[in-house]
Amino acid sequence: RVPATILLGVFCGVMSLYFMRMMNFCENRFSKMREHPYAKLITGGLLLSSLIFLFPSLYGEGYNSIAIFINGQTEADWHQVMDGSLFYGHSELFVGYIALVMLTKIIATSSTNGAGGCGGTFAPSLFVGGFAGFLFARVWNMEKIGTYLPEKNFTLLGMAGVMAGVMHAPLTGIFLIAEITGGYALFVPLIVVSVVSVMVISIFEP
């Protein structure tokens, strides 16, 4: 599983770059509306509510969705993340739903921050990382690229990788997720994913 772990680190680094660039782009757009606070508020509210309508998983901090990935055992368990969405009942769209939620979470967070709310970056980076790790393992297993990858473990590794990349803090990602898991069984993979992620994003964001 070493190649898969390294590739996940690269993927997390790319997602961290997307996270930072999209966050800056959206917030710069909102900053140009500072002279029109009500327009900024309405724009942010409409954008955020539209995204939540399409992808209910974006509502709140998103820990419920992450818990489904970590604790789920079957397809039916994982498909609970689509409950309440237009994708509900379409299991063939599951991977696409995960990818879209992962990509739009940054826009939802930026809309919250840009419109005057407080969304932060810590929880969203964990959310995006969890979805990225699950998506990576899911696609890997679907395509039967190599040995089976446990989605639960890769969800946790993804959380560490994206958070480490966004914050340029590999040790924070490693030890935070190690504490969440209640042990150090994933310690070496956490190191690999977090360090590779930071190495990748440092090429573009020193």
Q: pLDDT tens for residues 55-92?
A: 988 887 778 888 888 888 878 888 888 888 888 888 88
Report the alpha-carbon distance of residue 160 to residue 130 in Å, rounded: 8
Helix (H) or strand (E) holding 176: helix 170-180
Average pLDDT of 1-28?
Answer: 91
- pTM for the structure as a whole: 0.90
**Helices (H), ranges, 32-89:** 37-54, 63-71, 75-78
Q: What pLDDT does residue 8 have?
A: 95
Of 55-64, 113-122, 151-160, the poorest mean pLDDT is in 113-122
Q: Which residue has the higher pLDDT, 154 or 73?
A: 154
pLDDT in the model for residue 183:
63
